[in-house]
Amino acid sequence: MVDALAPSELLNVRRLARFGYLGLFVVVAYFTPLFEQYPPLQWLGIAGLLIVFFDAIVCARRRWRELREQLDEPEPS
């Protein structure tokens, strides 16, 4: 499925996945006692948050690089 997506569509899917994970983490952390009952699950969730954070940084740097390259290219006359 991922191979069939264009790069911009893949970024949108990754963005939705990040927001979904963050939302799920917040719901589980604040509205269920799951993390209190299973502390290793809380650490696994925090590790997932770190992955989401670094993935967001990678995507932002990639997007910034693309924008910078577009600005550096001379416009056709």
Give the dihedral sign, CA 18/19/23/24.
Answer: negative
Integer CA distances (angstroms), 14 to 10, 17, 35, 36, 59, in order: 6, 5, 25, 29, 9
Q: Note the pTM of the prediction, 2 decimals.
A: 0.72
Structural domain boundaries of the chain? 38-70
Which pLDDT does position 21 carry in this prediction? Answer: 94
Which pLDDT does position 3 carry in this prediction? Answer: 55
Note the pLDDT tens digit of each residue in 10-56. Answer: 778 888 999 999 999 999 999 999 999 999 999 999 999 999 999 98
Per-residue pLDDT band at 76 (split at 50, 70, 90): low
Per-residue pLDDT band at 4 (split at 50, 70, 90): low
